[in-house]
Amino acid sequence: MLRFLYTLVMYLATPVIVVRLVVHGVRYRSYLRRWRERFGRFPDPGLRDSIWVHAVSVGEVNAAVPLIHSLRRRYGPRPMVVTTVTPTGSERVRSLFGDEVFHVYLPYDLPTAVSRFLDRIRPALAVVIETEIWPNLFHQCGRRGIPLAVVNARLSERSLRGYQLIRALVRQALANVALVAAQSRADATRYRKLGAVPSRVHVSGNLKYDMPLPSGARRRGTELRGRWGDTRPVWIAASTHEGEELAAFKAHLTVLARMPDALLLVAPRHPERFRIVEQSARSLGFIVATHGAGDVGSAVQCLVIDAMGVMMRYFAASDLAFVGGSLVPIGGHNVLEPAALSKPVVVGPHTFNFEEITRTLITAGGARRIASAEQLGGTVRDLLRDPDELARMGSAARAVCARERGAARRTMVLLGRIFARARFESSAAG
């Protein structure tokens, strides 16, 4: 009855869903052209016994990379399917894997759409990255005997409270999950509280620690610094949201007062805000350049990174990184990308999406937390004026990344067990 009521609400909401799809498609025309995929309608690719990985957007795709490589090595003859929800996630899959994997958008959680989708990809193993709980999708995987795993699983206290109103429905959905491979003990505990079968919940660590550095990232960063000036102070405000760019601009004024040649790099989280952020920087009187416009002259004070997939070279070119989504209650973004490049990290008070990682970095001395936007300028200025502290923090951050690696290997062991058990039970039933 709970799932019936949920499904009824989903069908009643379909007109709103379609409007949202069209609005999103105005920004991403390729997404609009593929709208039928969101309802499970796409040409049958002729797959059978595929290995299916779902990663909602860019961050989850990046986290899934080492696991996808491991799955392809172990189950190579089987076709690999990777689904996303966002067009930026789709673009990331294409850039990383090309035609080596079959990519399609995940359908909305409507029974008919889910059924068409599963009929076409015919998975022998389903792997969902992080926190995506879809009652109808999970139910059909269970009914079809498809071993389903939620890996790199995370669940904040805030999300746990948010699920309380539909906890019984979520518990039913999680009953179909053969494995929850959690990022931390705290995440594992929350999944058990949410209703996951306790014996199926394990701690495997965070896949983001295993993310490989893009080829040539350090070299490109060094080349950028060579063009800008090796001794020039450079800091980056990465994955920023509305309200955080203004905080970064105010902070940069504080930095410029003591270091007039300092350069701020700003990378808005969402592409539709690139132009807005550029205009804001110009309106405040900064001399501005953009990634798309080419080289940065010595007079430029602010570079707006108006492109996707180039962040790592700019992290490599920076002296320190402020990671956004943390001054506003978004929950923070991936602090491991700059940390892996030995860059000190600064975050705001809101890091519940990456709480375990952030706390580990802070404890190790590789990151600092500020309580408010007003503290950003002074913190960045003081760090940029202390090369020894920058070096110490960068080394500490890199050491954490090296120490915590291994989640992909541990996750593969757990996936191998549920896959083998499913094959055995299928053979026994046959």
**Helices (DSSP H) in 39-179: which residue ranges?**
58-74, 87-97, 111-121, 135-144, 157-162, 167-174
Of 120, 92, 96, the residue nearest 36 (C-alpha): 120
Q: How far is CA 267 from CA 34, 91, 310, 342, 377, in A?
A: 28, 18, 10, 19, 17
Pairing status of strand 148-153 against strand 179-182: parallel
In angstroms, rounded to a whole number, what is the distance separating the alpha carbons of residues 343 and 329?
24
Task: Enumerate the active-site residues.
Answer: 60
DSSP letter, residue 212: P
What tokens does 387 get?
């090369």
In angstroms, rounded to a whole number, what is the distance separating the alpha carbons of residues 78 and 90?
21
Supply φ then ψ for residue 356, to 5 degrees: -65, -45
DSSP letter, residue 304: E
What is the secondary structure of 136-153 as a DSSP string?
HHHHHHHHHT--EEEEEE
Q: Are 301 and 248 in contact (CB under 8 A)?
A: no
In angstroms, rounded to a whole number, what is the distance separating the alpha carbons of residues 356 and 184?
7
Residue 177 is which amino acid?
Answer: V
What tokens does 183 get?
């990022």
In angstroms, rounded to a whole number, what is the distance separating the alpha carbons of residues 323 and 338?
9
